[in-house]
Amino acid sequence: MRAFCWDSFLQTFSGPLSPMLEKFALNSALADDDRAAIVALPFSLYSYNPGRHIIKNDATCTEFQVIVSGFAIAYKVTSDGFRQIVGFRLPGDIINIQHMQFAYNDCSVQATAHCMVAAVDETLIRNLTCERPIISNAIMASALIEASISREWIVNIGRRNARARIAHLFCELASRLDPCRLAEDQPFRLPLTQQQIGDAVGLTAVHVNRTIKGLIKDGLLEQDRHLISSPAWDQLKSVAGFNRRYLQLDQKAAALGHSQ
């Protein structure tokens, strides 16, 4: 099998939609003309400051939206006002993938760091997926990975203790933000408050604070404001019971000659 040259890919297919292409390339064998067809799509760019909503629950949308840069949370609110974060939206992620089939959003998406979002007319995407089935497959793979992450979150909240939950969340984000993990000791930026971390793992902010301090004390985490790193990545994964297979990232890692 021909080796995949990631640097060449990024140089050839640049622009606001390239983070999505990078995600597609993890699991779909897009040809150069498929990638070129995506890059050629007309789009609008929107800027969202932290705290601003990109999508609100039950709203309709006629655009296919992709995170270009930044960090956002997807969340739902119970009838008595409690928030549950149900996912993170990172660069390259399709924000409203359910719109390929359904009319309404089933959750809200809110920026927690400054976000740039590229929006493409949904009709153009539908036409492109009809003309190029491999692009349709890539979008389907993205939806399946999102579902896989949701299943792992159910296990994380339902069956792991507080220490493992938070360790698992950090392992997941480190892997998604740097899929190859070529420098596992490098910090990553986590623009979340302890309350937001708690809303993602079903813990109070006080419990999150205590648990993170314990992980730092044990030498598993280092934190400098919003910068997170682990000087003991293997031990952190062990505490979390983390196996990144559910993220479906290994195709890219294998292509670059990197093993987990």
Q: SS3 sequence, 66-97?
A: EEEECCEEEEEECCCCCEEEEEEECCCCECCH
Report the topology of domain 161-255: Arc Repressor Mutant, subunit A (1.10.10)
User: Could you report the per-residue pLDDT of 94-148, keeping only the tens digit for each?
Assistant: 998 887 888 788 899 999 999 999 999 999 999 999 999 999 999 999 999 999 9
Q: What percent of the chain has pLDDT over 90?
A: 76
Query: Could you give the CA distance from residue 23 to residue 4 in angstroms, rounded to a whole number?
Result: 14
At the topology level, CATH places domain 14-151 in Jelly Rolls (2.60.120)
Between 61 and 91, whose confidence is greater?
Answer: 91
DSSP symbol at 2: P
Q: Are 38 and 17 in contact (CB under 8 A)?
A: yes
CB 248 within 8 A of CB 27: yes
d(CA 97, CA 99): 5
Question: What would the pLDDT profile of 209-230 be if each residue is shown by its tens digit?
Answer: 999 999 999 999 999 988 999 9
Question: What's the mean pLDDT in 16-40?
Answer: 91
Domain segments of the chain as ranges: 14-151, 161-255
